[in-house]
Amino acid sequence: MAEVVVTDLVKKFGTETLAVDNISFTVAEGEFVTLLGPSGCGKTTTLRCIAGLEIPDDGEISIGGELFTSGSKGVCLPPEKRHLGMVFQSYAIWPHMSVAENVAYGLQAQGASRNEARGKVDKALELVGLSGLGGRNATKLSGGQQQRVSLARAVAYNPRVLLFDEPLSNLDAKLRERMRLELVNLVKELKMTALYVTHDQAEAMVMSDRIIIMKDGRIQQVGDPHSTYNEPTNSFVADFIGVTNIIEGSAEEKNSGGLLVDVPKLSAKILCGAGLDREIGKGAKVLVTVRPEYIELHAPDSDGANRLEGVVDKAVYLGQSWDCLIRVGDTDLRVHVRGDEPIEPGKRVTMYILPERCVVLKD
């Protein structure tokens, strides 16, 4: 009913800049999907095209089977005809209206009577935890409260899809973390379809059913938080989400355990068990990514692949783990070691990596 379908969307700014370069994706009914990427990747432009605030140059957007925008058919519904809810980064709370007037605005715009609106405003304010603040001047509230008003305003008239444009990035760190969960819970409770834009990968991981990672106007990878973290398809995704080591090597033989990659800089061979869903010829140059927390310091006794010898170069204590740089061959590996046992620079260590944690990238 409220499925979002974006097909071959193109948006240029001026004649040169391709903000959105031919992207397609869908958001299923009731799903929480995040567009994630660095600034300038086209995620906000995509969202604004869906809201009708930008006119795309080409492609189609439809929600619940209704065509909103189509380059070839010359259709472009104005934003007010789309029945969407949107939460902006700046909150966009109208300073000349009270909290209740802000929330009632959309209801009245869509033809709700005064009484009907009042009931729904109270309900929406209760949902976001602002009961009783309806009479306040909205701009006198704190940032977090303003964001809640903005959220109440967007959900009050039960829109078909909720759009979020970096709604938490103006809040301080602690509040931001709390709001992530509250926001997701609320959206799920209301069984709404949501499309969320952020540049904060942690936020995307916590909140989303699926994440769409974008760069330079193109989609890099689509997947749930688990797969995007553990099986990144290219070095951009691997690097953008979390912390990682990316090492160069050349493919050797492929066997049942995975692909054996020779890494001269580590003076070692690494058996890679993930990212192998494509043909890789012998001798081909490949990039392999390994997350720092998947490198273990206590290797099993048996000799063989994925066993590395190194010297601790630097070690920083982070509380729940040690963040270390360990010199292996000609290069440093980033390694996270759990526990609080002291790790001194200069110490010789033996490391081991499970083959399925070594992911061959597609670039």
5 near another protein, rule: CB under 8 A: no
Closest CA to 47 of 87, 75, 83: 87
226 near another protein, rule: CB under 8 A: no
83 near another protein, rule: CB under 8 A: yes
Q: Name the segment binding another protein (CB under 8 A); options: 32-40, 47-55, 197-205, 244-252.
A: 47-55
Q: Which of 5, 53, 133, 299 touches another protein (CB under 8 A)?
A: 53
Q: Name the segment binding another protein (CB under 8 A); options: 89-97, 135-143, 259-267, 270-278.
A: 89-97
Q: Name the segment binding another protein (CB under 8 A); options: 17-25, 61-69, 225-233, 272-280.
A: 61-69
Question: Quick one: 3 or 239, whose CB is closer to another protein?
Answer: 3
Q: Which of residues 97-116 bind another protein (CB under 8 A)?
A: 105-106, 109-112, 116
Query: Whole-number minimum distance, CB 23 to another protein, in Å?
Result: 20
95 near another protein, rule: CB under 8 A: yes
**Beta carbons within 10 angstroms of residue 186's beta carbon:** 19
Question: Quick one: 94 or 352, whose CB is closer to another protein?
Answer: 94
148 near another protein, rule: CB under 8 A: no
Query: What strand order describes the sheet that includes 32-36?
Result: 85-87, 161-165, 193-198, 32-36, 210-215, 218-223
Question: Quick one: 73 or 226, whose CB is closer to another protein?
Answer: 73
Alpha-carbon distance 193 to 244, whole Å? 32
Q: Is 247 exposed, middle or buried (0-12, 13-18, 19+ CB in 10 A)?
A: buried
180 to 219: interface string for another protein, x by CB under 8 A: ----------xx----------------------------
Cα separation values, 111 from 24, 77, 114, 115, 200, Å: 34, 19, 9, 12, 37
Residue type, 140: K
Tokens of 57: 């140059």
Q: Which of residues 276-305 bind another protein (CB under 8 A)?
A: none
Residues 6+ apart with CB under 8 A from 342: none
**Beta carbons within 10 angstroms of residue 143's beta carbon:** 13
Query: Whole-number minimum distance, CB 112 to another protein, in Å?
Result: 7
DSSP 54: S
Q: Name the segment binding another protein (CB under 8 A); options: 16-24, 38-46, 86-94, 341-349.
A: 86-94
Closest CA to 335 of 305, 313, 303: 313
Query: Whole-number minimum distance, CB 185 to another protein, in Å?
Result: 15
74 near another protein, rule: CB under 8 A: yes
- Cross-strand partners of 32: 194
Alpha-carbon distance 360 to 177, whole Å? 32
Q: Which of 52, 217, 232, 310 touches another protein (CB under 8 A)?
A: 52
Residues 6+ apart with CB under 8 A from 254: 260, 276, 280
**Beta carbons within 10 angstroms of residue 1's beta carbon:** 9
**Could you tell me how far CA 340 lies from the centroid of its own chain?**
31
149 to 178: interface string for another protein, x by CB under 8 A: -x--xx--xx-x--x---------------
**Could you tell me how far CA 28 lies from the centroid of its own chain?**
17
Binding site for another protein (CB under 8 A): 51-55, 64, 66-67, 70, 73-86, 88-90, 92, 94-96, 105-106, 109-112, 116, 120, 150, 153-154, 157-158, 160, 163, 190-191
